[in-house]
Structures are given as structure tokens and as C-alpha cells.
A and B are shown apart, each in its own frame.
Chain A
């Protein structure tokens, strides 16, 4: 467990801190995510896409729950991750993430912002539409398109 922690805690902490912008709250999420892993190791299935991506998504979900001051919404077992790239290996992981970052930079501004509001701020599409003054349908379409763009970036 200590090994897993040493390997993945920077990732989990970075995601939580990005969402919460508060080191204390991020530490709480860090603690919670690893306790979940400790308590229910069977809920993580290594075939589904690697521990790193899974922990990153779980950290995001838990951090959003904290941000919105609500009970955990996502069942760990429901989080099934399919990823084309192998993100556990050092060199390939670095290459893949560089592609993803490039894809983010290449995105139209409003698309990237919408994605980040939805993902890191935990805002619903209705909230985003209300804030940006854009039609709900546009926001929905944009969110999906942004996610698909990240996926496409890996296969280039």
C-alpha cells in the first residue's frame, strides 16, 4: 500500500487540489481515495485500464463531491475505464499525455473552458449554460466533443 501511495499520491493529490484549490481538503480526498482502495481492492479491476487512470477519475469524483458538499455520488464499481493507451509505462505515458495536452491547447477556447468547468469545477451543463449565456444544447454538444477530441489525440 505504501508503494501504491508513493507512486500514485502525487496524481490523486494534484487532481483533488486542482478541483478544490485547498490543500487541507485535497489531503482529505487523498486519504479517502486510498482508504477506499485499501478497503475494497476488489472494486478496482486492473484489466479495465490501469490503476492510475482509475485513481485519477475517482479522485475527481470524490473532490467534486467534497466541493459540492454532497454525499459520494459515484459507486466505485460503476467506474469502468477503457483507455487505448498504456498509461502505466513511463515513456509511453509521457508521450500520450503530451498528445492530450497538445489537444487541449489546440481546442477552441470556449470548448476547453466548457470542458474544464464541467470536469474540474463540477458544474452541470445547465449551470455552464447559465453562466456563459449559451444554449443548453450547445454546451452539451461541446462537452462531448471535447472529450472525444482527447480520445482522438491518442490515436494520432
Chain B
């Protein structure tokens, strides 16, 4: 194989590490392009190896062996070799696993997020379902021909047919409290609305009572507090199904309610 004569001597000096200055740069540029000179450089290294191999001398001391094996023991090589190699494709598997790991973490987080979202949606759906059920009940109650409608008026001013003082109408400028209960004995469903209620003293509450048909003692049917306009609603209090009601009544009770109504009655059904 022929080499470029102008580089022949420089190649030998370069192999020995003796070449200096701009000659190094121009030779290295040439080596990048010239396979023949690269081959010649390898042969010159081989010649140098021959020379090196002729050296002989005492063996290294035993402590050098122990020193090396100790240093190797301190330095596991697997990861380091992979990471220090220059060629990109040697680190590609590591890089790929890193990317995969990150991707997996992202997917996992997304999964958790979606699961949370699903839980929230389910809870929403359950709430909506409950609201729909309640609305259905209410609608059934309000439209059921078997429902009992009771009008309540201030206990001292029972509405009388034909009387000028009708329920809810001003007498001497003050609007009378009034109420309306719709009750279905079959399933114990009850809706009660009241208006013009007087504001409560602190630690007091209004309580609605169901007065049974056959002389049993009144049953608590829900506590309520009026809004600033004096309006209040009781919807679907927990009542035992199948109790026939004679009427309904409202009293003022201590906060938390009572087991039996405290007189006087504020409102009473007709």
C-alpha cells in the first residue's frame, strides 16, 4: 500500500507523539480523508509495539496486583462503560429505557387522574340520581290524588269560611303566618311550606308535628327556621309510612327539638 510521501515522516513522528504545531493539524485533517495513511499509521504503531515488546525486566511487585484488584472492586464497570462510550447508539438502550420509564410514570399519573375524575363523576351521578329520585317522589306526592292537603293557620285565628280575616291576609297591617302540608300516609311522604313566620328567639326552632287520626300523641315531623322573609319549607322528613294524620301543627321548641309539642301552637291545620 502506498502512502503519501509528504506525510510519511510526519506519520512516524505522529505515532511517537513527537509531532508538534501546525503539522499535527494538517496531518490529522489528512488522516480523516486518507485510508492509506490511516493504515500506515496503524502499521507504525505496530512497529512501535514490536519495539516495546522487546523490553524485558523484573515482574511487577505483588502489591501492584492487590492494588489493582482493590481499585477494580471499588469501581463496578457496567454502568460506566455504557455511559462513557461515545457512539450514541451504545447509550440508546439506556436512553430508551429512561424515556420508557418517564412515559410509564406519566401514564400512571394520568391513569390516577382519570380514576379520580371517574370517581368524582360517579359521585356526581349518584347525587344527581338521588336528586332525581327525590324530585320524582315530590312530584308523585304533589300530584297523587290520594295525597292529603292540609292548610295551617295561626292557632288564634283559624280561617273561617266567609270570614273577612282570611289566612295570610293582613289584619291590622300584620300578615298572619300560614302553612300548607301535603302528606301521603301510604309512604309517609310529606312536604310542608310556611310563610309570614315570626323571627325566632335565639336557641329556638320551629317544629312541625303530625297529629295522628286515632288520638295517639303527636309525632315530630321536622324542624325548620324561617328565612328573613318568614318563609320556610320542610321536605320529606323521616316519617313512618302508613300513619293516618288527622292534622298538622307547628310549635316553637328549644334548639334540637322536643319529644312532645310545647304549647301554645303557632300554626294548626284546619
What is A's interface to B at a CB cutoff of 8 Å?
A: 1-2, 5-6, 9-15, 17-18, 23, 26-27, 30-31, 34-35, 38-42, 48-49, 52-54, 56-57, 59-61, 64, 73-74, 77, 79-84, 87, 96-97, 100-101, 104, 115, 118-119, 122-126, 140-141, 143-144, 147-148, 150-151, 153-154
Binds A, one of B46-54, B193-201, B241-249: B46-54
CB atoms of B67 and A31 under 8 A apart: yes
* Alpha-carbon gap, A36 to B12, bound state (A): 25
For the complex formed, measure the closest distance between the CB of A42 and the CB atoms of chain B, giving whole angstroms: 6
Which of B17, B41, B69, B72 neighbours the largest number of chain A CB atoms within 10 Å of its CB? Answer: B17
Interface size on B, residues (CB 8 A): 49
**Which of A61, A82, A140 contacts B39 (CB under 8 A)?**
A82
CB neighbours (8 Å) of A83 from chain B are: 43, 46, 49-50
* Alpha-carbon gap, A27 to B39, bound state (A): 32
**Residues 1-34 of chain B, each 1 if its beta carbon lies under 8 Å from chain A, else 0:** 0000000110111011110100000000000000
Known: A38-B72, A87-B49, A143-B12. 4 other contacts (CB 8 A): A10-B60, A30-B68, A125-B18, A140-B12
CB neighbours (8 Å) of B68 from chain A are: 1, 5, 30-31, 34-35
Binds A, one of B76-84, B101-109, B222-230: B76-84
CB neighbors of A among B91-114 (8 A)? none
CB neighbours (8 Å) of A154 from chain B are: 50
CB atoms of A140 and B46 under 8 A apart: no
CB atoms of B51 and A115 under 8 A apart: yes
**Which of B61, B64, B75 contacts A38 (CB under 8 A)?**
B75
Which of A11, A73, A153 neighbours the largest number of chain B CB atoms within 10 Å of its CB? Answer: A11
Interface of B is mostly: helix
For the complex formed, measure the closest distance between the CB of A66 and the CB atoms of chain B, giving whole angstroms: 13
* Alpha-carbon gap, A34 to B70, bound state (A): 12
**Which of A2, A9, A81 contacts B45 (CB under 8 A)?**
A81
CB atoms of B43 and A82 under 8 A apart: yes
CB neighbours (8 Å) of A48 from chain B are: 42
Nearest B residue to A41 via CB reads: B81
For the complex formed, measure the closest distance between the CB of A54 and the CB atoms of chain B, giving whole angstroms: 7
In the complex with contacts A13-B59, A18-B55, A144-B8, A151-B43 CB distance below 8 A: yes
CB atoms of B53 and A97 under 8 A apart: yes
What is B's interface to A at a CB cutoff of 8 Å?
A: 8-9, 11-13, 15-18, 20, 38-39, 41-61, 63-65, 67-69, 71-72, 75, 77, 80-81, 84-86, 90
CB neighbours (8 Å) of A147 from chain B are: 12, 15, 44, 47-48, 51
CB neighbours (8 Å) of B61 from chain A are: 23, 27
CB neighbours (8 Å) of B69 from chain A are: 1-2, 5
Nearest B residue to A115 via CB reads: B51
Would you list 23 pairs from A and B whose C-beta atoms are within 8 A, ordered by A residue? A5-B69, A9-B59, A11-B52, A13-B58, A27-B63, A30-B68, A31-B68, A31-B71, A35-B72, A61-B17, A79-B45, A80-B42, A81-B49, A82-B43, A87-B49, A96-B50, A97-B54, A118-B16, A119-B48, A125-B13, A144-B8, A144-B9, A150-B47
